A = this chain, B = another copy of it.
Amino acid sequence: MANTVQGTQSFARSIGLLQHICDRASPPTLGDLLDECFFTRPTLYRLLNGLEAEGLIVQLRDKSYKPGPRLINLARSALATSDIRERARDALVRVRDQTGETVHLAVPSGDGLVYIDKIESLETVRMNSTVGTFVPLHSSGVGKAYLAALSDEELAAILDTVTLAPITPFTTIDPIKLREQITQCRAQGFVFDNQENETGIVCFGAAILDEDAKPIAAISISVPLFRLKKDISHYTAALKECVRWLSEDAI
Contact = CB atoms under 8 A, between A and B. Distances in A.
B54 A12 contact: yes
Where chain A touches its partner, the secondary structure class is mixed
A131 B66 contact: no
A53 B3 contact: yes
A9 to B, nearest CB: 9
A187 interface: no
Copies held by the complex: 2
A14 to B, nearest CB: 5
Contacts of A66: 78, 81
A27 B81 contact: yes
A8 B53 contact: yes
A95 interface: no
**Range of interface residues on A (Cβ < 8 Å):** 35 or more
A175 interface: no
A155 interface: no
A72 B79 contact: yes
Interface string A120-133: 10001011011111
A6 B46 contact: yes
Contacts of A50: 5, 7-8, 11-12
Please list the 4 inter-chain residue pairs (A to B) with the smallest Cβ-Cβ separation, ordered nearest first.
Answer: A76-B132, A8-B50, A75-B75, A22-B77
